[in-house]
Amino acid sequence: MTEKILIISEWFPDKKSIGGIFVYDQAKVLTRKFEVAVLVPHLASWYEIPSRGIRPISRLENVGDLVVCWESSLIAIPRLPILSYWSLSSGIAGIARRGLRKLEKIWGRPDLIHAHVVLPAGWAAVCLKKYLSVPAVLTEHSGPFVMHLRTGRQRRLVRKTLHGVDRVIAVSPWMAAQIQDFQPDIRPVVIGNVIKTEMFTLLDPANISSSAKTLFLTVGGLVEQKGIRYLLEAAKELLVRGYTVFEIAIIGDGPLRSGLEQMAQQLGLTGHCRFLGFRTPSEVKEWMQRCDLFVLPSLHETFGIVAAEAMACGKPVIATRCGGPEFVVMPGTGTLVPPADSIALANAMEDFLCQRSHYLNPQQIRQSIVDRFGEDVFLHRMSELYWELLK
């Protein structure tokens, strides 16, 4: 009999957003060995109704081989901390049980629960574990981890969650260290995010076209965390140094887009910088295959999926030493620089333009990702962990 795995995550893509796409990617890979259902619990605040058009929802749908249950409720009085805490601890448990009852009717009972992110999904997993008497696993992605530790009540709930699950997984050694800084007796298992190496591949040599311009690419939301302003400053520095035959392509959208576009214009980057907005995964892959080098200028990353995807396409990367990239970028596959340092970023880009940086060939760069984070490796590691608990 095939074991049933229930994934719980508040982060999960839908028709309006690709947020949590990495959870979907992991669940999709797990369907190769297990029956997988996904529960997406959400506590919506009243202020989200007028500002984001959010309404309490309850729906079941099939997404490929996945059964997905979306379940949400409104927080009663979010402005009062003690009631807000009660809503999180008790409310999310009620939502999870309600969603589980609906899943049981069409999918059955899970043999194991796997939650993503300590709050609220991790706590929901602990509550369902007690109800079902099945093992529970938590994968932590969010960083910095202190985002969950703002109040004493949150810290107590996080501590109860970490001790309530049977295994804690961190997506990078940096993430594991942050968890242990808070709770030293927890020993997270490090299993990186799965990279879709069957999708992100080397460009067919027949389709390779040469260009006089060096193309630098970055992909990410246009928010402060992604450090795009430092990439623009680095590009300006390259112009000052006399380098003009390059272009920076920026894929992504977000609240800082208009400001960053104005900044690029003020820095004189017209003709050297393109804001491409949102692109589909297949379009992102095509840009990664076409670029000469990928840049990840983030201020902090728990892993760095887009850098790994570019490497799966055989591209070297320049990334900041901001947590996760140190786990992804290996010697010969890229260069690490300090975060929020546009001069260091410009130096690394200049070294690439002058061919002073010597990277492995595209096949070797790709293989470094396939061997550590490819679908087969991820499925093997996760299956071993599941079966150890299911015994």
289 domain residue, yes or no: yes
Q: Is residue 139 domain-resident?
A: yes
- Residue 204 in tokens: 């067919």
Number of domains in the chain: 2
* Residue 161 sits in the same domain as residue 34: yes
DSSP 233-299: HHHHHHHHTT--SEEEEEEB--TTHHHHHHHHHHTT-TTTEEEEE---HHHHHHHHHH-SEEEE--S
Domain membership flag for residue 199: no
* pLDDT attached to residue 82: 44
Same domain as 321, residue 249: yes
Q: Is the link from the previous residue into 120 a cis peptide, with omega within 30 of 0?
A: yes
pLDDT at position 129, please? 97
d(CA 300, CA 302): 7
CATH of the domain at 325: 3.40.50.2000
- Does 220 share its domain with 348? yes
The DSSP call for residue 335 is: E
Quick one: DSSP state of residue 206? Answer: G
Domain that holds residue 310: 205-372
386 and 360 inside one domain = no
Give me the tens of pLDDT residue by residue for the chain, a chain 391 residues long.
799 999 999 999 987 778 889 999 999 999 999 999 999 998 776 555 544 455 567 889 998 899 999 998 776 554 444 445 555 677 888 899 999 999 999 999 999 999 999 999 999 999 999 999 999 999 999 888 999 998 888 999 999 999 999 999 999 999 999 999 999 999 999 999 999 999 999 998 777 767 789 999 999 999 999 999 999 999 999 999 999 999 999 999 999 999 999 999 999 999 999 999 999 999 999 999 999 999 999 999 999 999 999 999 999 999 999 999 999 999 999 999 999 999 999 999 999 999 888 999 999 999 999 999 999 999 999 999 999 999 8
Distance CA 111, CA 129 (A): 10
Assigned token pair, 258: 């208009």
Residue 128 lies in a domain: yes
Same domain, 97 and 171: yes
Distance CA 180, CA 185 (A): 7
DSSP letter string over 11-39?
Answer: ----SS--TTHHHHHHHHHHTTTSEEEEE
State whether 128 and 213 are in the same domain. Answer: no
Residue 211: its pLDDT value, please?
74
Q: Tell whether 57 and 71 lie within a shared domain.
A: yes
* Shared-domain flag, residues 130 and 257: no
Same domain, 173 and 31: yes
